[in-house]
Structure 1
Amino acid sequence: MTGTAAAFDAPLSFGADALGSNPRARQNWMLKCQGCHRADATTKPLNAPPLAGEVAKVLSVPGGREYLARVPGVATVNLPSDEVAELLNWTLIRFDPAHVPRDFRPYTGDEIETLRKHPLRVEAAAMRGRLHAAWREQLGR
């Protein structure tokens, strides 16, 4: 394993330093993600799912972790798997730290490599809906 994601051996801390501490992940966000999700991740749902205040919610329900690595934009982006792991970890911290589970373990390049072999396609939106419904049910909403 290489890259920043592989260096974590404990749950992430979400202090101010974590938000901007990975320039390569930030650059990859700008080049690979913000065209659809906008710079502040507040996408209009017709274009792409909004990530700000939303993306980490699915981590606390079964299948959510895998889902995030298999969505088309993550699974098929033309980056090495270790950089995809960095980018996904950075995105969670940057745009939705309040919903990242306390026991969250950062994605690794090896994990991304395995999950991106089975990308979601047309079923991604329906799966996202089920995961968010499970999250709301878990909260009793």
Structure 2
Amino acid sequence: MILRGALAIAALAGLAGATFAAQGVSPDTGVSDPALARQNWILKCQGCHRPDATGTPETTPAMAGIVAKFLHVSGGREYLARVPGVATAPLDDTQLADLLNWTLYRFDGAHVPADFRPYSAEEIGRLRKAPLRTEAPAVRAALAARINALAESDL
């Protein structure tokens, strides 16, 4: 009986690890529940950003291969938590932190800084109190210009 229980726990641990790997994240990325984060992506984000985060040029910025680059410039981290779709998402701060962390690793893990500190619920709660509204495109353009000024080898 004890052996069967231990085997079941080991199997569940392996499944959890596989789930994290399949989601493009690992347990140390600040994502406590990658399955829920993925579900929230599907329900709250992919309608505009598309399932593969490529966006639509006319209306919604691409995130794939780009989103974590914002973490490399001053103001970029704050911007990601304050964009209208993030700051006003109908999720609690913990779920929103998980979703943002998951999105960074899932769609642009190659550009997540080595010293990245995952978003916390407290940080999200503070930042989303000052959402960007009509100024979001201008803020994004200014940050994108700073990102473009960085040498690709620096990212």
Structure holding more helix per residue: 2
Question: CA offsets per residue over residues 75-127 of structure 1, 9 Å max, x none?
Answer: 00000001000000000000011111111110000000000000001111111
Structure 2 length-normalised TM: 0.77
Count the aligned residue pairs.
127
Mind listing any 5+ residue stretches in structure 2 that lack a counterpart?
1-19, 27-33
Q: Structure 2 matches for 1:52-71, cutoff 5 A?
A: 52-71=64-83
User: Which protein, 1 or 2, shows the higher relative CO under an 8 Å CA cutoff with sep ≥ 6?
Assistant: 1
Q: Give 1:53-92 correspondences, 5 Å limit.
A: 53-92=65-104
What's 1:123 paired with?
135
Larger Rg: 2
| Structure 1 residue ranges without an equivalent (≥5) | 1-14
Match of 1:7 in 2: none
Larger deviation, residues 126-135 vs 76-85: 126-135
Percent pairwise identity: 60
Corresponding letter in the other structure for 1:120 = L
The answer to whether the 8 A contact 1:44-1:50 is kept is yes
Letter in 2 for 1:117: K
